[in-house]
Structure 1
Amino acid sequence: MSKPTYVPEYQSIVEVLNKYNEGCKQAKSSIMKPAFSDKATMFSVDGDGKLAGGAIQALFDGIDSGFRPSPEAQGAIVRVDIVGTAASARIDTNDVSGFCFTDFFHLLKVEGKWTVVSKIFHTHVAP
């Protein structure tokens, strides 16, 4: 019988995702950047219903230039699914610089470490 690995893998993924949450909260891409692969991408649908996004650097630039620290921001890891070296996760955030987001992440375990390789998101209408 092999030893179950779900709990330690889950904990490692949560640690990666919490870097993203904390980077959003503090409006510092340097905190979240280690969570992402250099090859990661980010996409969403813009106000005209068109696909928008590309390289993950756009996230880092946006966080550093367009966001402000939000001590009141809240992020919840809603779901984590793990199969071998692949995982997906959902995070819902409230009041990140006045925005609310639902983010979907794809992660891969590369050279023994979990890393985000893609992010798609939905921006909710502000209350």
Structure 2
Amino acid sequence: MYGFAPDGNLLGGPISNLYKYVDEFGSAPEIKARVDVLAITPSTAVVRVDMEGDGAGVDYTDFHTLLKFEGKWEIIAKVFHAYE
């Protein structure tokens, strides 16, 4: 997953970076999210996720690429932009 932090720096790396972020800033009980399916086939999809107010109070737009494996949708790639 790759994207831009609120300070404009490019971040990238494995999903464990996201887990570390959540461990550091905690849950986001007041988060608001909207998910839009941009494209879908029987086995692939691209979605946009807009989030307001994560655990650190940051807003994001994510784009996820998904594949359907054995009847289950899984995110295989993520790019994001965090807003100041």
Runs of 4+ with >4 A deviation: none
The count of residues paired between Structure 1 and Structure 2 equals 81
For residue 45 of structure 1, report the CA deviation from its aligned partner: 3.2
1:34-113 equivalences in 2 (<5 Å): 42-45=1-4, 47-48=8-9, 51-65=10-24, 67-97=25-55, 98-113=57-72
Higher helix share: 1
For residue 62 of structure 2, what is the amino acid of its counterpart?
Answer: D
Structure number with greater CO (CA < 8 Å, separation at least 6) is 2
Give per-residue Cα distances to partners, 1:58-83, cap 9 Å, x unaligned. Answer: 11121112x22322210111334212
Give the match's secondary structure for 1:96.
coil
- Measure the CA separation in 2 of the matches of 1:43 and 1:63: 16
Largest Rg, 1 or 2: 1
Give the match's secondary structure for 2:39.
strand
Higher strand share: 2
Q: 1:56 to 1:69 in 2, by over 3 A?
A: closer
| TM-score relative to the length of structure 1 | 0.57
| TM-score relative to the length of structure 2 | 0.83
- Measure the CA separation in 2 of the matches of 1:74 and 1:45: 20
The question of whether the paired residues in 1 share the 8 Å contact of 2:3 and 2:11 is answered with: yes
For residue 104 of structure 1, report the CA deviation from its aligned partner: 0.4
Give 5+ residue unaligned stretches, structure 1.
1-41
